[in-house]
């Protein structure tokens, strides 16, 4: 046995022994002063990060007896590099089994990640498919499915209703089905995948395929690295069908009310034009991390004779050949839309109001994601789940420290590109602390562009650039604060989105939306992510301040990975297991 393995096994042994003895002080003492324990459900019935010995102490005092953990063991040979020992572990609790990750510095834990993977007695199993025993009146799979589809939402109520049938709702729906939790996913579009099909035609995924897999059924080995929107649309449609996700398309959600006495929702929907009342116990908003569109209110919008719309309503470039288009905004949507318009010979001006962080897709893929989500990573044995777990093991508090060097490398690699961008007058940033794209995404969900070609058009002036806030519109122009007048036939407001709880305000009520508070963000005290420090994403994948109301979403990696933990929390409630939540999040911002 190697020294490294000995050290880890010694730590695990002492940790388990302290836990068994209920000796919280001893257990906390095994952590470094500067340390983090991140728990996904297993210990906390929450998505939780505690810091330092005090944090560990508080978590264990609250949860140790109840969780009754045991069986901490290495699952493979640990590794050591730069004074840090990394180990993959498994463990069990009174009600479940989990896996985790440990980083030791010397003999003390620096980071610990524990995640619940299954509930005892409710493990996911591959179904047999058919009984190999004939009996009168035995129903076929097709008959059972048809009966289910007829009854669900009518004679039989789903335990969970998921509002939003994009990739997040679909992934959660698949997990819930596999866990045997009756659920129903609702979407306003006619077909799964339409959320992608109906977007502007040049849209593709900006994350590479290894990052994007859905649960259970990864993209095939010949799937393109960057999938075009229609191909993703087809995949989602197919996935929904073959994974038997219970799905109501063409369904608008009109309202939802929580019955606090019955601990149950009443959700009024229009399904294929018919009003239906659903009575689920739990309601999940999977409406997209982008909440309601921010449509700025500006003087002169009523006199402007041209077209105006928010980027989310942009139909694509086809109708605008030869037209003058002013796009307000300089982040992802703005670049995508400007680029497509340029390709179709529109006269395009981008109005930049604040700085944007840009990184080239190839550089992000290579340097930012390459060690975890790439052909290279796969060849190195990094499975999708392993990559997700490595990512999850990095505490948000210190994640920026890991990111900064990567973005320094990207700055060097693409120095020429950034120089040209700057020369064109584009205001570029690297995030408040140089930590780049992913931190910007985690902190504020905006303020960046993954460059897939449009930035060069700005750098060399083929897309014109103007600067400043919009002051007002005239009949045929956009006028900026400094008086710059931009004649326009079309104005596109690529002005972002509100917090997801905007949908709660619309569907439930303002009071509930405020009670739940702002969704997303870490409280890092950086631009558009005001403190105090939350420790985890606000409101995502965990209990909220509204009983039985949840949010699911994020990017494809998060939708995939966190769908497991959200599904397990719902399964536990469905089976009547006690789920005492450690430190239900506080609300510091309403939206």
What residue ranges bind a second copy (CB under 8 A)? 124, 126-138, 140-143, 145, 178, 201-202, 204-205, 209, 216-217, 220-231, 234-235, 237-238, 241-243, 339, 342-345, 360-362, 375, 451-454, 456-457
Q: Which is nearer to a second copy, 121 or 273 (CB)?
A: 121
Q: Are 111 and 52 in contact (CB under 8 A)?
A: no
Rg (CA), the chain: 25
- Minimum CB separation of residue 370 from a second copy in Å reads 15
DSSP string, 385-410: HHHHHHHHTS-HHHHHHHHHHHHHHH
φ and ψ of 405, to 5 deg: -60, -35
Q: Are 239 and 214 in contact (CB under 8 A)?
A: yes
> Residue 331: which of 349, 310, 358, 295 has the closest Cα?
358
Q: Which is nearer to a second copy, 1 or 136 (CB)?
A: 136
Q: Are 233 and 189 in contact (CB under 8 A)?
A: no
Q: Which is nearer to a second copy, 277 or 345 (CB)?
A: 345
The gap from C-alpha 168 to its chain's centroid, in whole angstroms, comes to 8
Question: 491: which strand partners?
Answer: 308, 326
- Minimum CB separation of residue 124 from a second copy in Å reads 7
Q: Which is nearer to a second copy, 6 or 383 (CB)?
A: 383
Quote the tokens at residue 272.
Answer: 């294929």
Per-residue H/E/C for 439-462: HHHHHHCCCEEEECCHHHHHHCCC
- Minimum CB separation of residue 288 from a second copy in Å reads 22
- Minimum CB separation of residue 202 from a second copy in Å reads 6
- Minimum CB separation of residue 444 from a second copy in Å reads 25
- Minimum CB separation of residue 456 from a second copy in Å reads 8
The owner of tokens 């440990």 is 102
Q: Which is nearer to a second copy, 142 or 297 (CB)?
A: 142
- Minimum CB separation of residue 357 from a second copy in Å reads 18
- Minimum CB separation of residue 342 from a second copy in Å reads 7
- Minimum CB separation of residue 129 from a second copy in Å reads 3
Question: 325: which strand partners?
Answer: 348, 490
- Minimum CB separation of residue 365 from a second copy in Å reads 10
Question: 186: which strand partners?
Answer: 163, 248
Quote the tokens at residue 110.
Answer: 């620096």
Counting beta carbons within 10 angstroms of the beta carbon of residue 305, is it exposed (0 to 12), middle (13 to 18) or buried (19 or more)?
Answer: exposed
What number of other Cβ atoms are within 10 A of residue 131's Cβ?
A: 8
φ and ψ of 63, to 5 deg: -125, -10
Q: Are 471 and 353 in contact (CB under 8 A)?
A: no
Q: Which is nearer to a second copy, 389 or 439 (CB)?
A: 389
The strands making up 477-480's β-sheet, listed across from edge to edge, are 470-473, 477-480, 485-487
What number of other Cβ atoms are within 10 A of residue 145's Cβ?
A: 13
- Minimum CB separation of residue 177 from a second copy in Å reads 9
- Minimum CB separation of residue 320 from a second copy in Å reads 14
Q: Which is nearer to a second copy, 28 or 174 (CB)?
A: 174
The set of residues, in sequence order, having a beta carbon less than 8 Å from that of 305 and lying 6+ positions away, is 475, 476
Q: Which is nearer to a second copy, 178 or 311 (CB)?
A: 178
Q: Which is nearer to a second copy, 127 or 483 (CB)?
A: 127
- Say whether 503 sits in a helix, a strand or coil: helix
β-strand 96-105 against 470-473: which pairing, if any?
unpaired
Q: Which is nearer to a second copy, 219 or 533 (CB)?
A: 219
Quote the tokens at residue 209.
Answer: 């395929």
- Minimum CB separation of residue 141 from a second copy in Å reads 4
Q: Which is nearer to a second copy, 239 or 258 (CB)?
A: 239
- Minimum CB separation of residue 376 from a second copy in Å reads 13
Using CA atoms, how far residue 298 sits from 308, 309, 474, in Å, is 12, 13, 11
How far apart CA 325 and CA 336 sit, in angstroms, is 14
β-strand 108-119 against 477-480: which pairing, if any?
unpaired
Q: Which is nearer to a second copy, 137 or 273 (CB)?
A: 137
| Cis amide prior to 186 (ω within 30 degrees) | no
> Residue 409: which of 436, 375, 382 has the closest Cα?
436
Q: Which is nearer to a second copy, 87 or 457 (CB)?
A: 457
Q: Which is nearer to a second copy, 5 or 201 (CB)?
A: 201
Quote the tokens at residue 157.
Answer: 């109520």
């Amino acid at each position: 046995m190697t020294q490294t393995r000995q050290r880890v096994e010694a730590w695990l042994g002492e940790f388990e022994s302290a836990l068994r003895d209920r000796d919280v002080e001893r257990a906390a003492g095994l952590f470094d002063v500067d340390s983090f324990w991140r728990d996904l459900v297993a210990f906390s019935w929450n998505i939780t990060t505690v810091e330092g010995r005090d944090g560990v102490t508080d978590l264990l005092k609250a949860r140790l007896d109840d969780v009754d953990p045991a069986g901490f063991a290495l699952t493979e040979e640990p590794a050591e590099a730069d004074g840090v020992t990394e180990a993959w572990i498994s463990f069990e609790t009174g009600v479940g089994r989990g896996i985790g990750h440990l980083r030791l510095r010397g003999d003390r834990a620096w980071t610990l990640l524990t995640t619940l993977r299954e509930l005892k007695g409710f493990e996911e199993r591959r179904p047999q498919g058919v009984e190999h025993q004939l009996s009168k009146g035995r129903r076929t799979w097709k008959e059972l499915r048809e009966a289910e589809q007829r009854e669900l939402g009518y004679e039989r109520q789903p335990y969970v209703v998921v509002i939003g049938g994009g990739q997040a709702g679909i992934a959660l729906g698949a997990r819930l089905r596999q866990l045997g939790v009756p659920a129903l996913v609702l979407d306003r579009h006619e077909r799964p995948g339409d959320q992608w099909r109906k977007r502007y035609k040049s849209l593709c995924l900006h994350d590479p395929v290894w990052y994007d897999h859905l649960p259970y059924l990864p993209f095939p080995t010949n799937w393109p690295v960057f999938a075009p929107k229609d191909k993703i649309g087809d995949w989602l449609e197919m996935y929904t069908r073959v994974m038997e996700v219970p799905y109501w398309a063409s369904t608008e959600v009109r309202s939802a009310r929580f019955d606090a006495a019955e601990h149950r929702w009443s959700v009024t929907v229009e399904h294929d034009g018919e009003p239906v009342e659903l009575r689920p116990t739990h309601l999940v908003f999977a409406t997209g991390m982008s909440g309601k569109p921010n449509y700025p209110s500006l003087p002169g919008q009523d006199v402007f004779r041209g077209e105006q719309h928010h980027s989310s309503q942009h139909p694509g470039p086809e109708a605008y050949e030869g037209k003058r288009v002013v796009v307000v905004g300089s982040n992802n949507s703005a670049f995508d839309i400007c680029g497509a318009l340029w390709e179709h010979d529109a006269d395009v001006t981008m109005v930049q109001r604040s700085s944007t962080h840009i990184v080239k897709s190839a550089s992000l893929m290579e340097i930012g994601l390459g060690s975890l989500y790439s052909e290279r990573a796969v060849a190195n044995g990094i499975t999708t789940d392993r990559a997700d777990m490595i990512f999850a093991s990095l505490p948000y508090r210190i994640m920026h420290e890991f990111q900064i060097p990567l973005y320094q490398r990207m700055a060097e690699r693409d120095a020429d590109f950034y120089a040209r961008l700057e020369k064109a007058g584009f205001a570029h940033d690297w995030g408040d602390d140089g930590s780049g794209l992913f931190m910007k995404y985690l902190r504020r969900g905006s303020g960046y562009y993954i460059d897939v070609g449009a930035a060069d058009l700005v750098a060399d002036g083929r897309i014109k650039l103007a600067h400043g806030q919009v002051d007002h519109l005239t009949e045929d122009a956009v006028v900026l604060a400094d008086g710059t007048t931009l004649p326009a036939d079309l104005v596109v407001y690529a002005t972002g989105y509100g917090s997801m709880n905007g949908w709660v305000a619309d569907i439930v009520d303002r009071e509930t939306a405020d009670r739940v508070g702002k969704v997303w963000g870490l409280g890092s005290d950086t631009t558009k992510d005001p403190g105090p420090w939350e420790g985890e994403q606000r409101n995502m994948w965990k209990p909220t301040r509204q009983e039985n109301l949840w949010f699911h979403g994020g990017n494809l990696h998060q939708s995939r990975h966190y769908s497991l933990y959200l599904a397990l929390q719902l399964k536990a409630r469905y089976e009547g297991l006690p789920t005492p939540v450690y430190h239900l999040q506080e609300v510091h911002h309403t939206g």
